[in-house]
Structure 1
Amino acid sequence: MPDTSRPLRKLGFLTIGLFDPADPASGHESTLQIIELGERLGFDSAWLRHRHLQFGISSPIAMMAAASQRTSRIELGTAVTPLGWENPLRLAEDLATVDLLAGGRINPGLSVGEPMHYDTVKHELYPDSSELEDFSYGRLNRFARLIAGEKVRDFSGRQGVVEEFSNRVEPHSAGLRDRLWYGAASRKSAVWAGANGFNLLSSSVIFPEADQEPDFARIQQSQIRAFREAAETSAQAHGQARVSQGLVVIPTDSASPGQREKYQRYVDERTPRTRAPQGARGMLFAADLIGTSDEIAEQLYAHAGFQEVDEVAFALPFSFDHEDYIQILTDIASKLGPALGWTPAEVRRDPQ
């Protein structure tokens, strides 16, 4: 087993929260149970993908609110919320409310850009302003200011007998601004995140620069380093900038023969897209990592992107069964995490 001088400090997982459209409640309940299991296993964080008009979690804020009442320690995040679908002021109110309910455990991950398949939904999403909406970084900066408690308007104070008005977003959750993350896939977006006081979510999809060789790990490494350089010189930095990596890992230590066969089929079907750049922008996909925890740890230690981080949010594969996720999470917490130098949260809190 390779040695590392930087043990893994924080271990998290990311789930898409799929459901059967004929029985959506069961899928949401499964996701909540997986988060509860993550806390019991000592994971530091659980992250929810955000899906609109699909059979996945469309309202991660509601899910985080529910999860916050069924857990007490594990951090809860979104990876990521596409801000183009959101009103920044209303989103700031909702996230601050849930963060207070959770005792300061919410980590909103966000992205900008035009909503996916915008032409098919803009007539319902923004019927009167679809051509005027700003989907740039400016929308995200506005949201960050609102989360930070900056003034929204000049009007405030008492009106009438009992109505009291504020000039900032209420409730205000102190510290939430420091826990905003940006899901960056290019060097430009990574630098922007660092310069504007966001933490960095780096996942299994990246866009290379025109002059870069299509080496996923090396490109991810360069983006993380560019983010840190920008964060170190930023006047908008909020505390020490954090970076989390989110690759797909599938440990098979305790998997049944049937599970191993299913997992390998999943990886085999997805592997061809990792062999060459995809699309006009040359998008690169990371390879899924499958095998025993020792085998996966060896691959991670050799991964240039992983070498740059001390916290991860491993992505759970799509469309597996509830029992599969239990096995995968249990192996990650009991075998892969320790192989990477990680210590479960409960052990860190109570060394006795």
Structure 2
Amino acid sequence: MTKNIGFLSFGFWQPNNSMVKTAQQSYDETVQLAVEAEKLGVDGAWFRVHHFADQLSTPYPLMAAVAAKTSKIEIGTGLVDMRYENPFSMAETAMETDVLSKNRVQLGVGRGSPEQVKDGWQYWGYDYTEEEMKQVARNRALKFMDLLKGERFAEPNAQPMFPQGPGLRRLEPYSPTLQQRIWWGSGSQATAVWAAEQGMNLMSSTLVNFESNEPFDVQQANQLRAYKEAWAKSGHDFKPRTLVTRSIMPIVNDLDRQFFAEGQQTQDEVGYLAYHQNPTIFGKMFVGEPDKLVKELADDQAIQEADTVLLTVPSTLGLDYNVHLLDVVMKDIAPELGWR
């Protein structure tokens, strides 16, 4: 089955034990990786969003920079943490970014994951507990989606600064199709069904709630199937997309072997996230020579269910290495799997 293939970068930097030493270098190389990925035929450049960390944060300036240097590649997030967001400013910024990119934005949103600081959204002026934020984040996402419809809601000023026509005002610049390119980051079957009901595409990462004793890929595939079933009942007027993320590290030379041949997580693991009372299952890293990876990936049920696969890239290894990794996947693995 043909797949959209993208990369997902966290954009880490650190002064020691990393090829990427500074924020400046990280952002420069992230933009350049998108440029090189487009040349290789990669479909999407996606960026993780974390606050208070030595890695990529608020995504819109980066997305606009990528848009200015590329022409075709999708520009996505995985994901924007709604605990920190104001739906009105987010909608305006997201639509402006989409206009600048000529409608290439694929915006993943969700409740987010554990941050580097306790209740970091409170520094943004939002006085909620983590438990309260579960519903607040969903409500903000729904308001954000509502604003993207472009309906007019704001009472005009009787004496505006600039001439305008009669009637209520909406956020500008309006991007008519962005609403169909919003993704919800789901960790369970229940949230997958909820995303379908709200008209959002579905993105699922390398970890999901541990809801059965089945392997990670089977549990994730069950989420995707539940999502598709709920979408079919929803009555939405466009075809949804589904996405999974995988860590795929092909070994084709001695440097690959040095980095990844030993000490990697090559089995699913079960653990706990900071704010979860229930366990989470983490998907394994796929490491090996291309023919071995082709066989393993062909058996992955969630990949079979999804139309988009994101490859997490080891950003601390630098631009050249990540271009090499993407090149091997696109030339030696994707065609053998029928993704190309």
Same structural fold, with TM-score higher than 0.5 when normalized by the shorter chain: yes
2:156 is aligned with 1:187: no
CA change 1:243–1:296 in 2 (3 A) is same
Counterpart check, 1:298 vs 2:295: yes
Q: Secondary structure at the match of 2:172?
A: coil
Decide whether the 8 Å contact of 2:8 with 2:78 is kept in 1: yes
| Cα separation, 1, equivalents of 2:230 and 2:152 | 27
CA distance 1:250–1:269, shift in 2 (3 Å)? closer
The answer to whether residue 5 in structure 2 is matched with residue 11 in structure 1 is yes
Contact 1:205 1:285 in 2 (8 A): yes
Partner Cα separation in structure 2 for residue 16 and residue 185 of structure 1: 19
Q: Counterpart in 2 of 1:99? A: 98
CA distance in 1, matches of 2:136, 2:331: 42
Whether 2:144 is the aligned partner of 1:143: answer yes
Contact 1:203–1:247 under 8 Å retained in 2: yes
Q: 2:270 aligns with which of 267, 276, 287?
A: 276
Residue identity matched to 1:339: E
Does the C-alpha gap of structure 1 residues 297 and 8 become closer, same or farther in structure 2, counting only changes over 3 Å? farther
Displacement of 1:141 after TM fit?
0.5
Q: How does 1:97-176 map to 2 (within 5 A)?
A: 97-112=96-111, 116=115, 119-126=118-125, 129-130=127-128, 135-153=136-154, 155-156=155-156, 159-160=159-160, 162-164=162-164, 167-176=169-178
CA RMSD of aligned residues (A): 2.3
Return closer, same or farther for 1:157/1:302 CA change in 2, 3 Å cut-off: same
3-state DSSP class of the match of 1:108?
A: strand
3-state SS, counterpart of residue 27 of structure 1: helix
Q: Residue 171 of structure 1 aligns to which amino acid in structure 2?
A: P
The 10-residue stretch of structure 1 (185-194 or 158-167) with the greater mean CA deviation from structure 2: 158-167
| CA distance, structure 2, for counterparts of residue 275 and residue 25 of structure 1 | 34
Match runs of 1:201-216 below 5 Å: 201-209=203-211, 212-216=212-216
1:1-352 map, 5 Å: 7-20=1-14, 23-112=22-111, 116=115, 119-126=118-125, 129-130=127-128, 135-153=136-154, 155-156=155-156, 159-160=159-160, 162-164=162-164, 167-209=169-211, 212-235=212-235, 237-253=236-252, 256-265=253-262, 268-271=263-266, 274-278=268-272, 280-317=277-314, 319-343=316-340
**Which sits farther off after the overlay, 156-165 or 240-249?**
156-165
> Cα deviation per residue 1:73-107 (whole Å; 9 max; x = unaligned)?
00100001111111111011111001001110000
Equivalent pairs counted in the alignment come to 327
Conserved? CA contact 1:156–1:164, under 8 Å: no
Q: What amino acid maps onto 2:159 in structure 1?
A: Q
Q: Is the 8 A contact 1:259 1:324 kept in 2?
A: no
- Seen in structure 2, the aligned counterparts of structure 1 residues 114 and 26 have a Cα distance that, compared at 3 Å, is closer
Query: Hey, what's the Cα distance between the residues in 2 that align with 1:123 and 1:221?
Result: 36
Cα deviation for residue 216 of structure 1 reads 0.8
Contact 1:248 1:317 (8 Å CA) reproduced: no
Q: Which runs of 5+ in 1 are unaligned?
A: 1-6, 344-352
Partner secondary structure for residue 173 of structure 1: coil
2:234 corresponds to which letter in structure 1? S
Structure 1 residues 298 and 102: CA distance shift in structure 2, 3 A: same
State the Cα distance separating 1:214 from its structure 2 match.
Answer: 4.2
Structure 2 gaps, min length 5 = 16-20
**Deviation, structure 1 residue 51:** 1.3
Deviation at 1:117, TM superposition (A): 6.0
Percent identity over the alignment? Answer: 27
Q: Summarize the Cα distance change of 1:160–1:173 in structure 2 as closer, same or farther, 3 Å threshold.
A: closer
TM-score when scaled to structure 1?
Answer: 0.86
Matches of 1:159 and 1:221, distance apart in 2:
56
Aligned to 2:18: none
Shift of 1:59: 2.1
Paired amino acid for 1:310: D
The code of the aligned residue for 1:324 comes to: Y
- 8 Å contact from structure 2 (residues 251, 287) kept in 1: yes
User: What is the DSSP-based 3-state SS (H/G/I as helix, E as strand, rest coil) of the residue aligned with 1:284?
Assistant: strand
